[in-house]
Amino acid sequence: MMKQLNLNQKLGLTILLGLLAFSLLVACLSPHSIDEQNLAQRLLLPSANNWLGTDHFGRDMMTRLASAIGLSFSLGVLCVVSASVLGVTLGVCSAWAGGRVEQALDVVVNILLALPGLVLVLLLSALAPGSFLVMYLAISLVQWVEYYRVTRAITRTIVDSPERQVSAMMGFGKWYQFKRHIWPAVAPSVFTMAAFGAANAILMMASLGFIAVGIQPPLAELGLMSVELFPFYIEAPWVLAQPLLVVALLVLGFHLLAGASRESLNSAD
pLDDT value of position 74: 95
pTM given for the model: 0.88
> What's the confidence (pLDDT) of residue 123?
84
151 and 144 in contact (C-beta within 8 Å)?
no
CA distance linking residue 56 with residue 37, whole number of Å:
9
Residues 20 and 69: beta-carbon distance below 8 Å: yes
Can you list the residues of the chain whose pLDDT is less than 70? 1-3, 260-269
Closest CA to 133 of 146, 142, 124, 145: 124
Q: Quick one: pLDDT at residue 269?
A: 47
Q: Provide the pLDDT for residue 252.
A: 95
Whole-angstrom distance, CA of residue 113 vs CA of residue 245: 32
Identity of residue 175:
W
Tell me the DSSP string of 30-72.
-SS-TT---GGGTTPPP-SSSTT-B-TT--BHHHHHHHHHHHH
